[in-house]
Amino acid sequence: MERQNALDRIKFLRNELHRHNYLYYVKAQPEISDYDYDLLLRELIELERQYPEFDDPNSPSRRVGSDISKEFIQVRHRYPMLSLANAYSFGELADFDSRIRKALPEPYEYVCELKFDGVAIGLTYKGGKLVQAVTRGDGTAGDDVTANVRTIRTIPLELHGHDFPDEFEIRGEIFMPRQVFEELNREREEIGETPFANPRNAAAGTLKLLNSAEVARRKLDCILYFLLGENLPTDYHYQNMLKAKEWGFRVSEHMTLCNNLTEVQKFIEHWDHARKKLPFDTDGVVVKVNSYRQQNLLGLTAKTPRWAVAFKYKPERVSTELLSVDFQVGRTGAVTPVANLRLVKLAGTTVKRASLHNADQIQLLDIRIGDWVFVEKGGEIIPKIVGVDQSKRSLFSKPVDFPIVCPECGTSLVRPEGEARHFCPNQYGCPPQIKGRIEHFISRKALNIDGLGEETVALLYDNNLIRDAADLYTLTREQLLQLERFAEKSADNAIKSIEKSKAVPFARVLYGIGIRYVGETTAKKLAQHFRSIDSIASATMEQLMEVEDVGERIALSIIEFFSNEINRELIQKFKASGVQLSVRDEEIAIISDKLKGLTVVISGTFSRISREELKDLITRHGGKNVSSISSSTSLLVAGENMGPAKLEKATKLGVKIISEDEFFDLIEQ
């Protein structure tokens, strides 16, 4: 390459990599796969090696991204958190092996493990107890996420046995099982949140939540693969991992000892296929020299150990023709472009549709109808288009025109600031939005009206029998029987299940009403706190934000909802229908009077229950929950990360401070 061209390319690559770093680490919304990112980075490193005169200390090749965020306390790693060199082919793997063979004058063994696609974590144990959990950060220091990590069930808080070192660190990967990820995204879409792109991003996003009760709900998992410390039980990685398993850690159950490169290759080939059946994502195989003595002989380079390598699987990718693009409108009005493809086989399934994300993505990849596009199935569930085969571009390809008006109702689309998606603002007139809201209302976690379904809702809507969810309660058997779909029995069943839904508790009704950003958990907490729809409707911003998890965005959305005349009318219709719009007395029944006469303040976050549940328990055991400490406070229940100001005030006033466990002892005595 000519010098000037090389410089141009280097500049281009640096810019691109900076941008992708930002998208990945700060926004958690990457545009390209890790694999493609690695390819760009490699190309840059190679060019910088050929042209050292273009060196730049700020080049993305010089630093690893950082996941540090200012909400957490930063902790220096006692041992730097290195990453691994990658191999993308058996040739590169053979190079790795021959470097080892040259450096070691004696036989050696490899340990092959799966490479888990999640977030790296370092766990420190002292005296057999978990004391700290820190993210990779920039490799030198990371975020202290101990409170969140404690919620992960497979991470032991106390170890079994007694042959573990008094102090050691164990590292591994925190991930979100695919099924949990799918469920979480379904929920996010239902309440109008942008879904996570893949399980890895979902795990990263979850680990950085400030509320550990919410982290607990999201069911992360963790597999450990690296032990560090002074007095480790053996001098071998494999044997130490087996020990770690005895102490109660989840270690990689597929870890295998290999005597030579052929065995390593066999492991890699086997898992290229078999990994797809695992309940979590993996993106390669890590090959490590087993003996610590040999690892020390081999040593480290600046960023990676010489004794290990990560073999990366190629994401499965095929190319096919893009026939057309549909624009789908969801319940929240979000418009999603969906590609219709010429049928193609990918990762064992036939693909005919693929996600195109949003308008920016279409422009960025310069995708045209009639193009041959690359389709990939990475960690994502729905295959996605990752690029265009420019060599096959036809003269007749046509640009994809993102619509300016809603394809369903003709209203001009809007794109809110900071959103990548376009929305149809015609909430109350756009059919898929109206039908979507009714479908949400009858869904299992909401009113659970199982005699109806998506198609029935469409049919009822198209026949002008319903215009909103409250209309369901005025439907008659006769009206249903006029429709082709219904016979006597199915009509009776539908009416019965509508009737039955009147007993569904208020929290689920509130969720079913479908206020943007109010998910199942938030609805429960709002219901517990305010007890009725009327108190929620008349609450101020500040009052709404007193509820755990309710920040400005959710509070605003609730205020906006109730300030709309159409919604207020809907609530009136619900009142007439007989659904539960307040918490029933049985639900707030008194359990005991153990806290009678006591004024209780809670502070921090709790591991066994949420703050709202704790407040509820205080009331139901006869106590009075107040938000600030004064001389009349009888008890302070202190959770994790309690505010220092509260602690100081409580100590000064001589208020009795108890832990979460002590609180439970008190009410369970």
User: What's the rounded Cα separation, in Å, for the pair 587 and 592?
Assistant: 14
Q: Is 308 in the site for ligand IVH (CB under 6 A)?
A: yes
Nearer to ligand IVH, 286 or 386 (CB): 286
Per CB under 6 A, the segment of 111-119, 451-459, 502-510, 571-579 that binds ligand IVH is: 111-119
Pattern of binders to ligand IVH over 270-289, x per CB under 6 A? ----------------x---
Per CB under 6 A, the segment of 53-61, 76-84, 360-368, 460-468 that binds ligand IVH is: 76-84
Nearer to ligand IVH, 302 or 404 (CB): 302
Q: Is 249 in the site for ligand IVH (CB under 6 A)?
A: no
Report the residue from 3, 18, 27, 83 that binds ligand IVH according to the rule CB under 6 A: 83
Report the residue from 116, 247, 280, 511 that binds ligand IVH according to the rule CB under 6 A: 116
Report the residue from 24, 37, 96, 226 that binds ligand IVH according to the rule CB under 6 A: 226
CA distances from 493 to 488, 490, 499 (A): 9, 5, 10
Per CB under 6 A, the segment of 53-61, 110-118, 409-417, 591-599 that binds ligand IVH is: 110-118
Give least dist CB 57 to ligand IVH, A: 23
Nearer to ligand IVH, 113 or 660 (CB): 113
Report the residue from 64, 75, 82, 373 that binds ligand IVH according to the rule CB under 6 A: 82
- Site size for ligand IVH, by CB under 6 A? 15
Give least dist CB 245 to ligand IVH, A: 14
Give least dist CB 252 to ligand IVH, A: 6
| Active site (annotated) includes residue 312 | no
Which residue has its beta carbon closest to ligand IVH?
120
Pattern of binders to ligand IVH over 329-368, x per CB under 6 A? ----------------------------------------
Nearer to ligand IVH, 134 or 470 (CB): 134
Pattern of binders to ligand IVH over 135-174, x per CB under 6 A? --------------------------------------x-
Pattern of binders to ligand IVH over 287-306, x per CB under 6 A? ------------------x-
Pattern of binders to ligand IVH over 16-55, x per CB under 6 A? ----------------------------------------
Q: Is 547 in the site for ligand IVH (CB under 6 A)?
A: no
Report the residue from 10, 84, 87, 447 that binds ligand IVH according to the rule CB under 6 A: 84
At residue 126, what is the residue type? K
Handedness of CA 53, 57, 59, 61 (dihedral sign): positive
What is the token pair recorded at 167?
């102090």
At residue 563, what is the residue type? S
Q: Is 536 helix (H, G, I), strand (E, B) or coil?
A: helix
One DSSP character per residue, 583-641 reads --GGGG-----TTTT-EEEEESB-SSS-HHHHHHHHHHTT-EE-SS--TT--EEEE-BT
**Helical residues (DSSP H) of 275-341, grouped into ranges:** 292-298
Q: Determine phi and psi for 390, rounding to 5 degrees.
A: -60, -25
CA distances from 662 to 129, 393, 656, 657, 669 (A): 20, 69, 12, 10, 10
Give least dist CB 233 to ligand IVH, A: 19
Give least dist CB 139 to ligand IVH, A: 9
Nearer to ligand IVH, 80 or 416 (CB): 80
**Catalytic option among 27, 70, 115, 314:** 115
Judge whether 512 and 469 are in contact, CB under 8 Å: yes
Judge whether 591 and 624 are in contact, CB under 8 Å: no
Nearer to ligand IVH, 62 or 467 (CB): 62
The 3 state secondary structure assigned to 483-529 is: CCCCCHHHHHHHHHHHHHHHHCCHHHHHHHHCCCCCCHHHHHHHHHH
One DSSP character per residue, 126-149 reads ETTEEEEEEE-TTSSEEEB-HHHH
Q: Is 225 in the site for ligand IVH (CB under 6 A)?
A: yes
- The answer for residues whose C-beta is within 8 angstroms of residue 20's C-beta and 6 or more apart is 30, 31, 32, 37, 40
What is the token pair recorded at 117?
């696609």
Neighbours of 552 (CB within 10 A): 10
Give least dist CB 255 to ligand IVH, A: 8
- The answer for residues whose C-beta is within 8 angstroms of residue 461's C-beta and 6 or more apart is 431, 434, 435, 438, 467
Q: Is 304 helix (H, G, I), strand (E, B) or coil?
A: coil
Nearer to ligand IVH, 308 or 509 (CB): 308
Show contacts with ligand IVH in window 252-271 (CB under 6 A). Answer: 252
Give least dist CB 552 to ligand IVH, A: 34
User: What's the rounded Cα separation, in Å, for the pair 560 and 542?
Assistant: 14
Q: Is 165 helix (H, G, I), strand (E, B) or coil?
A: coil
User: Could you tell me whether strands 624-625 and 635-638 are parallel, antiparallel, or unpaired per DSSP bridges?
Assistant: unpaired
Report how far apart the first and last C-alpha atoms of the chain are (Å, whole number).
79
Report the residue from 14, 20, 77, 115 that binds ligand IVH according to the rule CB under 6 A: 115
Under the rule (CB under 6 A), what is the footprint of ligand IVH? Answer: 82-84, 113, 115-116, 120, 173, 225-226, 252, 286, 305, 308, 310
Residues with a catalytic annotation lie at 115
